[in-house]
Amino acid sequence: MPELPEVEGVVQALKPEVEGRTIKQVQLSEIIRFSYDEGKQCIVKQAEPDAFEMALSQMTITKIERRAKYIFFHLMKEDVSYVLVSHLGMTGAWFIVNTPDEINEEKFKKHIHATFQMADGGYLIYSDIRRFGELRFLTKIEDHAPLTKMAPEPFDETACDYFIAKSMLPKYEKKAVKEVIMDGQVISGCGNIYATEALFAQKIHPARKMNRISEKRKRALFEAIVDVLRQSIDAGGSTISDYRNINGEAGSMQNRLQMYGKKLCPVCGTGTSQMTIGGRTSVYCPNCQH
């Protein structure tokens, strides 16, 4: 699943290509229409497909920004502001192309679900192989309550103190540290990959309870999370399976990962172990991490 660094890479690539341009029209895939009609999981949230297409037509994209793992497309039409919120789910990807046929990988071309034809030519395309992503059209961010409950950006000055305070709440103090740091209301944008890396860097067992970690060690863990997120942004993110940037490019952070997906610990050579925490597979070194 794309985490903060991967989403940041998409946003930085989209901004110069899309900001200031106007959407001529939008076309959703038949599978989206079928999913909506059947009441099944649908990429487009809280909107009937025809209404979604009509609402987005003639919208100008004024600004694109990232918040945690979300992409916010700020829009304007007839002097009224709106926002299209995109979450990439597990396999979502945005492409900027002259024609849909320019998408090189067949698996993405086969699963195009939203085609935005631009008024000045070309297309902004959303593809999603497993269809766990979201497209949510809002008049303002506050219209979708979960978006208002996200933790500060991890790079903000207040983020570490916020994390410390949250970790001491009854809701979190007896939970496994791995589960807590992947909670977007505690730390924004840290998912399975980077939680695994930060815990290994600090030699903390992923199942250790929050109330058994000192404040000093929590602060060091938070700094490790920030550090690995920054490293990944610089490397263009991690391409474990289906993450791609807007031109179909893969990231390279996967080549620097120390623990995620590893069979042997790079420090002591011990075989790694796995356990499920918060519904996700956690890889760790049973010798180094305590």
Catalytic residue numbers read: 2-3, 69, 280
CA 120 – CA 179 distance, rounded (Å): 46
**One-letter amino acid of 288:** C
| Residues forming beta bridges with residue 166, ordered by sequence position | none
Task: Give the torsion through C-alpha atoms of 274, 234, 146, 48, to 10 deg.
Answer: -100
Give the torsion sign (CA, 40, 46, 48, 49). Answer: negative
Task: Give the torsion through C-alpha atoms of 211, 145, 5, 101, to 10 deg.
Answer: 150
Structure tokens at 35: 């999913």
CA 162 – CA 140 distance, rounded (Å): 25
Chain Cα centroid distance, residue 84: 15
Strand, helix or coil at 222?
helix
Structure tokens at 13: 């690539």
The answer to whether 211 and 27 have CB atoms below 8 angstroms apart is no
CA 53 – CA 58 distance, rounded (Å): 10
